């Protein structure tokens, strides 16, 4: 009985779903980091001067 | 009569914005979980005997049943516990735990629903059948997706958390029915071979592989929930900063 293609497809699909979710977590984290950096940036866009 | 506002009046401010953590979202726990899952896959594929009746397709058990245990029992179980505690204590951390567990639970249930038909086709001769176990699992997945859509649709934090908690508890109530469905209804799906009162109905090598798969998937679940929780904390901190609360 050769039905190995089904388990190979199942393992590949599971790995794909988990990998896609990990990428989505990383992507959302990166977007939040960029939003936080934009919020910290001074309103005039330049670096804050001493004094 | 007490009314609930979906979004007309704008979101209520977050009561307690936590400090933004500097730790990476996907950290060492995620790395350990990935190594454990890969090792389990290697053991299942190359070092676990092939079952005589079903052939190689039986190896889908290690992915399918482990994902079901973790996604349904741990995932939606955690949603229910965190939701009940949220309704009692009104602690935003518990709402974030429920939110994170629900999303990861949906991911694991997706794996269950994708790998199940790939096992059903060679063994039952059909990709899908509308029996109780399969239909209830699909229904739970829809409720889980609905839970996530609800969270995205309601802007008021308190309302969102309260509605989500109720829906999360109702979703988790499906899990015992899913587990018992093979006893309550005539179904193509086999009876439990591991999670039952007597000893597992598998040879020792297969049982060891299954336990390893369960443990590695549990690690992956923990890593995903922790990462998702950190994202929720960062998002709430940022929202509070944008609203001028921090």
Q: What residue ranges do the domains of chain B occupy?
A: 28-242
Above 80 in pLDDT, residue A50? Answer: no
A15–B59 C-beta distance less than 8 A: no
In CATH, what number does B28-242 get? 1.20.120
Q: Contact at 8 Å (CB) between B64 and B114? A: no
Q: Could you give the ipTM of this predicted complex? A: 0.88
Q: What is the pLDDT of residues B111-144, one digit of tens each?
A: 999 999 999 999 999 999 999 999 999 999 999 9
- Range 12-31 of A in CB contact (< 8 A) with B: 13-15, 17-18, 21-22, 25-26, 28-29
Please list every residue in chain A whose beta carbon sits closer than 8 Å to the beta carbon of residue B54. 1, 3
Query: Which candidate from B60, B241, B242 shows the least CB-CB separation from A6?
Result: B60
Tokens of A18: 């988990």
Q: What residue ranges do the domains of chain A occupy?
A: 1-39
Give the number of other Cβ atoms within 10 Å of residue B203's Cβ: 12
State how far the Cα of B74 lies from the Cα of B71, in Å rounded to an integer. Answer: 6
Q: What is the pLDDT of residues A7-22, one digit of tens each?
A: 999 999 999 999 999 9
Q: What is the pLDDT of residues B161-198, one digit of tens each?
A: 999 999 999 999 999 999 998 888 877 777 776 666 66
- Of B136, B237, B236, B145, the C-alpha closest to B184 is B136
Please list every residue in chain B whose beta carbon sits closer than 8 Å to the beta carbon of residue A41. none
Query: Which candidate from A18, A26, A28 shows the least CB-CB separation from B220?
Result: A18
Query: Which candidate from B37, B56, B110 shows the least CB-CB separation from A17?
Result: B110
State how far the Cα of B243 lies from the Cα of B199, in Å rounded to an integer. Answer: 57
State how far the Cα of B239 lies from the Cα of B245, in Å rounded to an integer. Answer: 9
A32–B235 C-beta distance less than 8 A: yes
């Amino acid at each position: 009985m050769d039905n190995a293609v089904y388990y190979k497809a199942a393992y590949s699909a599971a790995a794909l779903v988990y990998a896609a979710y990990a990428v989505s977590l990383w992507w959302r984290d990166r977007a939040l980091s960029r939003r936080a950096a934009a919020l910290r940036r001074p309103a005039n866009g330049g670096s804050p001067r001493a004094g | 009569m007490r009314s609930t506002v979906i979004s007309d009046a704008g979101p209520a401010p977050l009561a307690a914005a936590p400090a933004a953590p500097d730790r990476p979202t996907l950290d060492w726990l995620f790395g350990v979980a990935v190594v454990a899952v890969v090792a389990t896959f290697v053991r299942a594929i190359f070092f676990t005997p092939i079952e005589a009746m079903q052939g190689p397709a039986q190896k889908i058990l290690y992915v399918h049943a482990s994902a079901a245990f973790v996604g349904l029992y741990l995932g939606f179980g955690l949603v229910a516990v965190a939701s009940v505690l949220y309704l009692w204590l009104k602690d935003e951390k518990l709402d974030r735990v429920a939110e994170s567990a629900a999303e990861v639970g949906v991911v694991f249930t997706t794996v269950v629903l994708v790998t199940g038909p790939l096992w059903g086709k060679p063994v039952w001769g059909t990709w899908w059948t509308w029996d109780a176990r399969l239909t209830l699992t699909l229904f739970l997945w829809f409720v889980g997706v609905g839970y996530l859509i609800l969270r995205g649709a309601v802007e008021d934090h308190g309302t969102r958390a309260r509605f989500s908690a109720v829906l999360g508890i109702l979703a988790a109530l499906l899990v015992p029915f899913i587990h018992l469905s093979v006893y309550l209804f005539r179904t193509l799906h086999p009876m439990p071979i591991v999670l039952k009162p007597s000893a597992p109905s598998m040879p020792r090598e297969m049982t060891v592989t299954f336990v390893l798969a369960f443990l590695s998937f549990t690690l992956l679940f923990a890593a995903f929930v922790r990462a998702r929780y950190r994202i929720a904390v960062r998002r709430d901190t940022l929202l509070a900063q944008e609203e001028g609360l921090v």
